[in-house]
Chain A
């Protein structure tokens, strides 16, 4: 909540120095336009966050409401000293880092294709690339699950020429193969999202800069490295941040494919299993609060540490 207001204030300050009535009325209009949505967001996000934070201080089980007991930060102490939590944290971080890295490279390649495609094919190519993103995650998770499953899958018979894969290879019986399928499904599903954000960045790179570089004798690779990438740094960082936050909250793929078996439990699944499965509202809320704090930390590191400028995508720079 405080982040947007401070940026807003700073923007105000800069404009006020120029002392323009128009800027002030623009800001007022901005509030009129965004205000209702902002208020609604507070209502539907702030309330659950506060409620969860409050509940996390109690030992509270849904089926024993009378035995509610204030335990202070004990739930947090139990969670933070339990290997199960840190294991889920490591698995979640691993999935986040690997998927974002792969998607960034793949997404950039796809963005280049969409950007460069001849006008006649542009529509078809953009649609084709965006199709996976339009599919519901649960559906794509089931599709990948059934494709790799030992009973119904066809992957084993298609790829039996690869060493280590044969008809009796059970992908979901061990940690690494399970994580491989989970990551593959994530990458397939969300690469279009990152490539879309990168495409917006590519479109902002002034064509004359690239042309000038070419005239000066720069090779394609040099143009990319010295001109294109530096000019779309803001877009890249925004894409990475958004995607990292999303990847960190991964749930559907793991829930459907392994249910957390073979050490593939991620943080959201741990929170779900505790609150919804065990009906331990207190402990589950504490995990949710920690998950929320982790997301805040990632945003903070990205925005402060890597200087991600969120206004970059709005084309203000």
Chain B
């Protein structure tokens, strides 16, 4: 009995705590914004917009995993279970159709549908079935980074468009390493897609079809050209010994090494190398992504983050209000300066602080205008992993057979006849 008496106050205290917790809900509604990890920029914008809302809502951030694929897994699992705690989401573009198709995303309201003044690459990546299903926030693209001294030494005129063949020849003849991403991960898909798209092809012919009717077009002239490029870099060791495990950070290290020369990479490398006081900073220059065919414009990769609102949120209207605040050009400009993530709003590039902090801002904006997104389909994950499985390591790619066998493998996986 003494025990019972001892437990009773504890229980009462517990109940009281629960009741206090419940009553505290009567303040302004809290919007939870699921963010990808960054340098605190999204949390800062959440703070600013909360203050601006003046009691209409409070934005709290919740951190998602580091890898985009892990972010997708968590959000998809929660949304499949109708999680009402998801108000705003920072979404990686390739996975947007997968979330939009089953109705996991709330409809974008009329006032946010206006895409004037947004870079084309970001609009494409926010669209599914000809409808804007998310709102572009920041937009990423890859540039060709190079060391001026090296370019001069190998005799490449960087003021003219450069092709992959130029880079390969230069690296092969001068014993240099190219910074490319050959790891078994999303980065490899980004590379393959950019090569196929730059060669005038497309990985997926009918991205909006159901899984068993999706048609790939890898077994094509563009697919074989892409295979030729990656296989030459792989088999001749032009990506360095670390190529089969090289992600974006690893290629940045190769680029800064003794045999570093040219690198395709996202703009994060600029603040990263500057912060590390890298020796190459004085020698660093950049230009648009390399071409596959000398007479056709390159199709650089596009990434970034778009904002979506969860369909099961209890505060959908307020969430869209908050999104409108978050994506304002001045917030994007500040986010670029503080976190190194480029804006999707063209206007933000003219901000003086942006121009000062990122001398390559105009190159990024132009690159974003000509960028091509990765295949937009709810089955993107299958296509991406299927590509990685069949094209990794790139040294084993055979331009004659890999595109065809890769296409057959992915098609069978999509039909449910093969494991991935």
Q: Which residues does A use to contact B, with CB under 8 Å?
A: 59, 62-66, 78-79, 82, 84-85, 149-151, 168-170, 172-173, 258-262, 270, 273-274, 276-279, 283, 287
List chain A residues, Cβ under 8 A from B416.
59, 78, 283
CB distance from A140 to the nearest CB of B (A): 20
Contact of A151 among B250, B378, B385, B418 (CB under 8 A): B250
Residues 265-286 of chain B, each 1 if its beta carbon lies under 8 Å from chain A, else 0: 0000000000000000000000
CA distance A170 to B246 in the complex (A): 11
A273 lies within 8 A of B420 (CB): yes
15 contacts between A and B (CB under 8 A): A64-B378, A78-B417, A78-B418, A82-B418, A84-B420, A151-B253, A170-B242, A172-B245, A173-B244, A173-B245, A259-B184, A262-B393, A274-B419, A279-B77, A279-B80
B245 lies within 8 A of A64 (CB): no
**B102 proximal to A (CB < 8 A):** yes
List chain A residues, Cβ under 8 A from B393.
173, 262
Interface size on B, residues (CB 8 A): 31
List chain A residues, Cβ under 8 A from B185.
259
What would 10 more interface pairs be, CB under 8 Å, given A149-B245, A279-B76?
A62-B80, A78-B419, A170-B241, A173-B241, A173-B243, A173-B393, A259-B184, A259-B185, A270-B419, A279-B77
CA distance A85 to B418 in the complex (A): 10
Residue of B nearest to A259 (CB): B184
CB distance from A112 to the nearest CB of B (A): 40
List chain A residues, Cβ under 8 A from B250.
151
List chain A residues, Cβ under 8 A from B149.
none
CB distance from A308 to the nearest CB of B (A): 33
Contact of B101 among A64, A260, A262, A278 (CB under 8 A): A64
B76 lies within 8 A of A62 (CB): yes
List chain B residues, Cβ under 8 A from A85.
419
B419 lies within 8 A of A277 (CB): no
Given contacts A150-B245, A172-B245, A261-B184, contact A64 B419 (CB under 8 A): no
List chain B residues, Cβ under 8 A from A82.
418-419
**B98 proximal to A (CB < 8 A):** yes
List chain B residues, Cβ under 8 A from A172.
244-245
CB distance from B176 to the nearest CB of A (A): 15
Residues 386-420 of chain B, each 1 if its beta carbon lies under 8 Å from chain A, else 0: 00000011000000000000000000000011111
